[in-house]
Amino acid sequence: MRKVTSSDVAARAGVSRTTVSYVLNRSERVNISEETRQRVLAAVDELGYIPNAAAQMLASQRSNGVGLVYPRSHPHLSTHIFLLSAIEGLKSVFDRYGMHLLLDAVDNNSEDAYIDLLAAQRIDGLILIDVPLNSFVSQRLIRNAFPVVTFGYQYPQLSSIDAENWLGAKIAVEHLLDLGHRRIACITNSPHFPGDPNLRLRGYHDALQQRGVPANPDWVVEGCYTPESGYTAMQTLLGLAELPTAVFVGSDVVAFGAMTAVHERGLSIPGDIAFVGFDDVPLARYAVPPLTTVRMPAVEMGIRAGMLLMERVLDGAAPTHITLPTELIVRSSSCAT
Amino acid sequence: MRKVTSSDVAARAGVSRTTVSYVLNRSERVNISEETRQRVLAAVDELGYIPNAAAQMLASQRSNGVGLVYPRSHPHLSTHIFLLSAIEGLKSVFDRYGMHLLLDAVDNNSEDAYIDLLAAQRIDGLILIDVPLNSFVSQRLIRNAFPVVTFGYQYPQLSSIDAENWLGAKIAVEHLLDLGHRRIACITNSPHFPGDPNLRLRGYHDALQQRGVPANPDWVVEGCYTPESGYTAMQTLLGLAELPTAVFVGSDVVAFGAMTAVHERGLSIPGDIAFVGFDDVPLARYAVPPLTTVRMPAVEMGIRAGMLLMERVLDGAAPTHITLPTELIVRSSSCAT
DNA sequence: CTGAAAGCGCTTACAG
DNA sequence: CTGAAAGCGCTTACAG
């Protein structure tokens, strides 16, 4: 049960290990006679030779690994659904290049353990999904010209990918305005913290402002990723003297909780209160009633992010920011059909 | 920006690289004077030394990597929610041992590409979530005594983890029987295929049989992972001359679709038709009405699977099967409260 | 308790 | 077009 090495292949093909390596790795740069090539390939096949990853990494100074970092802490369900779709896109690109994905969850307040992956040279690139970077770490990444693509946050000299959160939210709220609503509340997806751009909330405000509809601070309530938080936030809104007639919720998952609060109160959706969510999670159209929402192009974002990273790993391309369009999906939670 | 190596540490601490390696790796086996230890540790710290992973892998013949394989193909939403919870559990174990998780999605009909990870010695162990193993691959894994833990399928000489699917389903259906239902339908989570034990469906049948309630073949309809499939399956049931008064659905996600079909038909839940799902996905209690279901202990399964794998990697422990309990969560889709 | 040296299995200038 | 040889940065018997 001995492992087969490149020496075995070389012996069988009657060439040196050098030639085996050339045939396997750089068909373009070095000219190998077609006959030798075939002989080597045949030997590889017959022996079932797979190069030892560690030896390759050590000699070539490339790991063919990409670190994927995401937040561990909160029960960030929609982020997680998003995560798997993004991974699907990322993998479709990485598979073509023989890159492997290493998963690393981080706590919000952790020691950035993923940096060790980089220091150990276990990865050639980094994908950060919804994790903020402190300036110490980002400086280090920039200084080393280490390939990075971020989702959800944006940094000056690092590549990033995002969806049109601001525009998507603005269009969602304009949809409600077009339906005649003037008392429109907002439940955010996440609590506000310094440095958080919260583009969805800004889209909400800007839509109201552009249409000259006065904003009511009481009608903006914080959610925190979970349906539970949406339920609580909606109860706050339902306790107000003047009820909103529509609610824009920063994520579908939070909207599920908010809608439950409305049902329990005996009010009807969209008759008494209309709803628009954000994300288009797979269950959104099976909410009661089906939830109008803004679709995030998660798989596409993964694909583009993967390409961005590979261009940087392979060709040293410059850092680039890409923003992908979102799309309003109208269902019956905003207007009876 | 030169990488710091163990030579640098050795020089700084005034010892050999051997000693550096001993201090870092086998505190128990070799006795190093406390003073030397401290000197080495200080040098490591001051230099920010992180051992090169490739060199370590090559020299030690251990990769500290674990492959996590899951099915790519179908839009297996509840599997995916399950997947992330399982990963949470797995990582909590692997983090303690410095093991890294490599993600690999496979197509149902693919070439088992993950086997190359093993051949390249990039991983020391394998976790298979809901992917069946053909006998060629399983024989190879067994022959090499390669550490493997499977979820969802079980093989003679490989470790596996599972939940009480049969018992959970049986208890769910007994819950409906206890409520007085006799016309109980079942929508499965997945289409039947050869070799699929489908324990949830068996639990359904066995509950009926033990209570002497006749089974009606028309009342068993196949779902296929998605809410869409549940919607379609429910429409089939609603087209029958004699309607069931309760439905046991093999997964919550499928149940969401089925419940939507019932609402559209203008029937009430649980008044006209009661529902019980399976999985307890995070949105289950925000279904309308909140969905009675059977909870899968996903995180716990991940933890136990991780421990099973590590015992095998580290101590060569024998293959073991573990089954974890499920729990009925009663909400109002089965009985008005 | 500590060090010199071989070896892990590749890649890649450098010669020829 | 092909090969001999150095080197990647660790670990680990083996001596002492």
CB contact under 8 A, B253 and A102: no
Min mean pLDDT across A49-53, A155-159, B109-113, B247-251 is at B109-113
Domains of chain B: 6-60 (1.10.260.40), 65-162+298-324 (3.40.50.2300), 165-296 (3.40.50.2300)
Calculate how close chain B gets to A36, using CA atoms only, in Å: 24
Nearest CB to B91; choose among A53, A105, A286 = A105
Helix (H) or strand (E) holding B84: helix B77-97
Residue B36: count of CB within 10 angstroms of its CB: 16
Q: Which of A22-26, A279-283, B177-181, B225-229 has the lowest mean pLDDT?
A: A22-26
> How high does pLDDT run on average in chain B?
91
Whether residue A233 is predicted with pLDDT greater than 60 in this model: the reply is yes
pLDDT-derived band of residue A73, with 50, 70 and 90 as boundaries?
Answer: low
Q: Is pLDDT of B111 > 70?
A: no
**Is residue B249's pLDDT more than 60?**
yes
The mean pLDDT of B55-60, rounded to a whole number, is 94
User: What's the confidence (pLDDT) of residue A195?
Assistant: 74
Q: In chain A, what residues touch B286 (CB-CB under 8 Å)?
A: 227, 231, 256-257, 259-260
Residue B308: pLDDT above 90?
Answer: yes
List, in order, residues 6 or more apart from B147 with CB less than 8 Å away: B124, B125, B126, B159, B309, B312, B313
Beta bridge partners of B173: none
CA-based torsion, A278, A283, A289, A290: positive or negative: positive
What's the pLDDT band for B2 if we cut at 50, 70, 90?
A: low
Segment B126-149, tens digit of pLDDT: 999 988 888 888 999 999 899 999
Residue ranges near strand C (C-beta within 7 Å): A 3, 5-7, 17-18, 20-22, 24-26, 49, 51-52, 54-56, 58-60; B 14-19, 22, 30-33, 35-36, 55, 58-59, 61
B-chain residues near A282 (CB < 8 A): 75, 77, 226-227, 253
In this prediction, residue B105 carries a pLDDT of: 84
| HSE, side-chain direction, 13 A CA sphere, residue B271 | 5
Give the closest residue to C13 (Cα–C1′): A18
Dist CA B94 CA B86 (whole Å): 12
List Cα–Cα distances, A98 to B82, B113, B116, in angstroms: 27, 11, 11
Which of A58, A105, A144 shows the shortest C-beta gap to B54? Answer: A58
Sheet holding B321-324, edge to edge: A321-324, A159-163, A148-151, A125-129, A65-71, A100-106, B100-106, B65-71, B125-129, B148-151, B159-163, B321-324
- Say how far apart CA B46 and CA B315 lie, in whole Å: 34
Region of poorest pLDDT, from A4-18, A198-212, A287-301, A304-318:
A4-18
Share of residues in chain A with pLDDT > 70 (%) = 94
**Does pLDDT of B69 surpass 70?**
yes
* pLDDT of the residue at B125: 96
Unique residue bearing structure tokens 């505190």:
B27
Tokens 């399928």 correspond to what residue?
A: B153
Confidence of residue B25 (pLDDT cuts 50, 70, 90): confident
Point out the residue nearest to C3 (C-alpha to C1'). Answer: B16
Task: Check: CB of residue A312 under 8 Å from CB of residue A147.
Answer: yes
The tens digit of pLDDT for each residue in A304-323 reads 999 999 999 998 889 999 99
Q: What are phi and psi of A321, to 5 degrees?
A: -105, 135
Q: What is the dihedral of CA A309, A313, A314, A315, to 10 degrees?
A: 90
3-class DSSP assignment, residue B268 = coil
CA-based end-to-end distance of chain A: 67
What does the angle CA A222 – CA A223 – CA A228 come to, to the nearest 5 degrees? 140
pTM over 0.85: yes
